[in-house]
Chains A and B, each alone.
Chain A
Amino acid sequence: MYTLTIAELSAGLRARRFSSVELTRALLERIARFNPHLNAFLTVTADEALAAAQRADQELQAGRGSPLTGVPIAHKDIFCTRGIRTSCGSKILDNFVSPYDATVVTRLKEAGTVLLGKTNMDEFAMGSSNETSFYGPVRNPWDPKRVPGGSSGGSAAAVAARLVPAATGTDTGGSIRQPAALTGIVGLKPTYGRVSRYGMIAFASSLDQGGVLALTAQDAALLLGVIAGFDPRDSTSVEVPVPDYVAALEAPLKGLRIGLLKEFFDEGLERECGERVRGALEVFRSLGAELREVSLPALPLSVPTYYVVAPAECSSNLSRFDGVRFGHRCQNPRDLLDLYMRTRGEGFGAEVKRRIMTGTYVLSAGYYDAYYLKAQKVRQLISDDFRRAFEQVDVLMGPTSPTAAFEIGAKTDDPITMYLNDIYTIGANLAGLPAVSVPCGFVADLPVGLQIIGPVFSEAKLLNAAYQYQKETDWHRRLPRGYD
C-alpha cells in the first residue's frame, strides 16, 4: 500500500480494497519504524489521524467524499495547524500550539485527507539541506549520510521513504523543488499568489509560496486543485480561476516549445547530473517537443539578488518573535531589552540570525538604496528576461540542482557555498513563476531532478509535461534501499 500514489490510493479506497484506517495504521507503523533514523517527522498526530481516517471511511462507505477522502498527508511544520504544535523547525516556537489552521491546511482537511503529522524543515525555511533545524538534520532515504535538501527536507524524505504519499512544502528560493530533486520525487512550486499564504509562517513574503511534494505529477495535480484559489485573508492571493489540473494532464506534448537556459548549463552543474537532464530532454523531443536555446542574461545575478531581498523581508517578518505573546521566552529577564535580546538570541539558530542581520543591514539607513532598492531593480530585470523568453518558448527546462545530494556537514562551513545550491531555482521565485521538479535519473544511486519553469499560471502546462514524461519513464517508481 505504501508504494501507491495518491491516484492509486484514492481508487483503492473508493473500491474498498482497503480502508483509510488500515492505510493510516500501516503508515503510522512505518513512521514509527523509520522516523527515528530519518528524523523527517517532528510531530506525529496518531490519534487524530486514526479518528480522521475513521470519519473518512464513514464517508467512503456512504458513497460520499472527494478523490482525496481518506488519503494520508503530512504538513511541513511551517503551516499552522490548530491544536497541534507548529515549530517552524525552531526553538523559538518549540512550545507553540497554533490556535488556528492555515488556509492550505483547512482546504486539505475539508477535502477529506488524513493528517499524519508535521514534518521537519530548515529553521524558518532558511536553508537548502535541512541542517539548520533545531531538531537536527533530516537524512536522505537514498543515503543516510546525505542531506535530503531543504528547506522542505522533512516532507521530501517522508514522501521518498513512503511514510506518506504526499506532503505540503514551501518554496522561497527552491525549498520544494531542490529537496524533491535530491530525493527523487515531484515537487511543485505554484505561481506567486496561486496558493494562500494565510497561516504559512512567513519567511520572505514576496517570494514564499506553498506547494506540494508527491510521487507523481498526477498526484501533484490532484493536490494543487484543492489548495489553489483565492483567499480573502491574503491580500497577495489572486482571483484567477483554478483550472482542472487533472484533466489537463492528458494533452499531447507535440509542438511544445522548450527553452534550454544557457545560464543553467554552466560550469557549476555537475557533469553527470547534466547528462541525466539532457537525457530527459531527449524524451521530450521524442514526444514531439521542440528544443531551443534561450538566454536570460540577468539570471546569474539571481542568487545575490535573493540574498538581499529574502533576508530583508525575513528580518522584519521575524521581529514578532519576542517572547511576549507566544513562543520561547528567556528565564528571568532583567528588563525589556534583556527580554528581547536573550529570547531571540536563545531562540534562533545561527543561520536565522545571519539572515536577520544581513536583512537588517541592507535595510538600514544609508544602505537601503545601494542594496535593497538595487536588488529590487535587478529583480525586475530578471523578471523581464523570463517574460521575453516566454514570448519564444512555452516552458523552460534545466537541472533543479547543480549536484545530487551532498553529505551532511559538507557545506555548512561557508554560507555562500550553501546558498549556491539554489542557483537554478531562485529565478522562478524572484519572478513569481511556477516551476516543478520531476525525477529524471540517478547518479551513483542518488536522484537527479529535471526542472520545468513556466509563465504565470501555467501550472496545468507544467504538470502536463511532467505527467507525459512520467508515462515514459519510471524513475519515480524506484524506492530507496531499505524502504522497499
Chain B
Amino acid sequence: MSLTRTDVENIARLARLEITESELAEYVGTLSRIINFVEQLNAADTGDVEPMAHPLSGQTQRLRADEITERDKHELYQKNAPQVEAGLYLVPKVIE
C-alpha cells in the first residue's frame, strides 16, 4: 500500500513535524516502503487471538496510596524552560 503526498502531509501535521518539499518526496517513498513491509502481517492467521498490550501477562495495575509526596520545585524545573514569566510557561498567544 502506497502513501500519497496528502497522506504524508496529513500525518506530518498530526504529528506536528515540519517537513520541507524535498523531504516530503523522500518520506512518501520510505514510508510507503515501510508500510508495505509491515503489511506482511496481514498474512498471519490471528483468529481469536487476544491482542497483547503487554508482555506482563496476567498482571494488573498497582494502586498507590492517596498521599501528597511532592513539594514545590518549580524553580529547579523551570531552569530548563525556554520561556517563563511569573512562574508560567509561555507560548505564542492562543486564540480560542
Contacts and interface: CB of A to CB of B under 8 A. Distances in A.
A touching B, CB within 8 angstroms: yes
* Contact-residue size bin, chain B (C-beta under 8 Å from the other chain): 35 or more
Contacts, number: 168
A86 B80 CA distance: 12
Nearest to A307: B38
Contact of B33 (A95, A371, A414, A431): A414
A324 interface: yes
A375 B61 CA distance: 23
A410 to B, nearest CB: 17
Contact of B19 (A345, A364, A370, A381): A345
B25 interface: no
Interface string A61-101: 00000000000000000000000000000000001110100
Given A375-B41, A431-B55, 18 more contacts: A235-B62, A238-B59, A327-B82, A345-B17, A353-B17, A356-B17, A357-B11, A361-B3, A374-B44, A376-B51, A378-B41, A378-B46, A380-B46, A380-B50, A381-B49, A383-B52, A432-B55, A433-B55
A96 B19 contact: no
B16 interface: yes
A411 B62 CA distance: 43
A433 B15 CA distance: 32
Contacts of B27: 353-354, 357
A361 B61 contact: no
A268 B30 CA distance: 22
Contacts of B73: 99
Nearest to B3: A361
A427 to B, nearest CB: 12
Interface string B13-29: 01111110001000100
B56 interface: yes
Contacts of A333: 91-92
What size tier do the contact residues of chain A reach? Answer: 35 or more
16 contacts: A206-B54, A232-B64, A238-B56, A305-B41, A308-B38, A341-B18, A357-B12, A360-B14, A374-B41, A376-B52, A377-B49, A378-B46, A381-B49, A383-B52, A414-B30, A415-B33
A342 B18 contact: yes
B11 A97 contact: no
Contact of B51 (A298, A345, A373): A373
A14 to B, nearest CB: 37
Contact of B49 (A319, A346, A380): A380
A356 to B, nearest CB: 5
A192 B37 contact: no
